[in-house]
């Protein structure tokens, strides 16, 4: 009798484990956030930046992308996602044709080779702002982040190289129409990855948030 009860309760417990695990995973899922730019800027923590030990190779990219079966790396997957006219995908994920619009400078581009995939918050800036303490796996996830549509963006090589590793205190997109979007996406990326800002950067963000970009809305989901 007792043995039968033990077996019954044991079976019930084992049956509940997947349900409990599923519920816990669901409860822990990151929640999408929507807020004003001013409030979003207020959520960014301020610290001094430190680039000690940074190398670009600390962030493995490009990896095999979100779809491991498509034969395309992260760069190519971002290009495919952002094309306004889809390119032809040939063997080895070679992209021919297609059309893109680089929003930093409002330029229409008809060759994938003329585009860079920009990390909204550059790798060096991410390192300065907290990524130096991450694991190699988390840095790789950051460098290949397609979980947010604003983390990686296809832009003209010229503007990406002008930007380099500068933050909004030192560089903004040359197209005035792009600047509020850019500030919003910069802050969204910082919050998504819990990255900090230094004093100059924060003051620059506040100027936009309290002035020309006060109506900008920021959408972000914290990275798992």
Average pLDDT of the segment spanning 117-132:
98
For the chain, the first-to-last Cα distance in angstroms comes to 47
Tell me if 78 sits within 8 A of 61, measured CB to CB: no
Pairing of strands 152-156, 217-220: unpaired
Tell me if 173 sits within 8 A of 104, measured CB to CB: yes
- Tens digits of residue pLDDT in 3-13: 444 344 444 43
CA nearest to 188, candidates 222, 165, 163, 153: 222
Tell me if 183 sits within 8 A of 213, measured CB to CB: yes
pLDDT of residue 76: 98
Angle, helices 179-192 vs 199-209, to 10°: value is 130
pLDDT above 90 covers a percentage of the chain that reads 86
pLDDT of residue 1: 46
What are phi and psi for residue 96, nearest 5 degrees? Answer: -125, 145
pLDDT of residue 29: 82
Kindly report whether the global pTM for this prediction surpasses the value 0.85.
yes
Beta bridge partners of 33: 220
- Tens digits of residue pLDDT in 11-43: 443 343 444 444 444 556 889 999 999 999 999
Alpha-carbon gap, residue 213 to 179, rounded angstroms: 8
């Amino acid at each position: 009798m007792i043995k039968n009860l033990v077996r019954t309760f044991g079976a019930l417990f084992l049956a509940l484990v997947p349900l409990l695990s599923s519920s816990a995973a669901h409860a822990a899922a990151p929640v999408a956030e929507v807020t004003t730019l001013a409030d979003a800027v207020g959520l960014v923590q301020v610290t001094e930046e430190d680039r000690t030990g940074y190398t670009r190779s600390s962030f493995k990219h490009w990896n095999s992308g979100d779809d491991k079966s498509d034969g395309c790396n992260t760069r190519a997957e971002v290009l495919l996602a952002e094309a306004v006219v889809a390119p032809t995908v040939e063997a080895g994920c070679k992209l021919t044709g297609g059309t893109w619009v680089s929003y930093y400078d409002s330029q229409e581009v008809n060759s994938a080779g003329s585009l860079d995939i920009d990390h909204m918050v550059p790798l060096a800036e991410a390192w300065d702002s907290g990524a130096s303490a991450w694991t190699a796996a988390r840095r790789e996830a950051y460098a290949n982040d397609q979980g947010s549509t604003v983390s990686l963006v296809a832009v003209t090589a010229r503007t990406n190289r002008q930007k380099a590793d500068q933050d909004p205190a030192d560089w903004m997109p040359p197209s005035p129409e792009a600047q509020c979007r850019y500030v919003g996406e910069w802050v969204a990326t910082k919050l998504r990855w819990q990255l900090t800002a230094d004093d100059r950067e924060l003051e620059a963000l506040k100027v936009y948030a309290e002035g020309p970009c006060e109506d900008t809305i920021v959408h972000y989901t914290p990275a798992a």
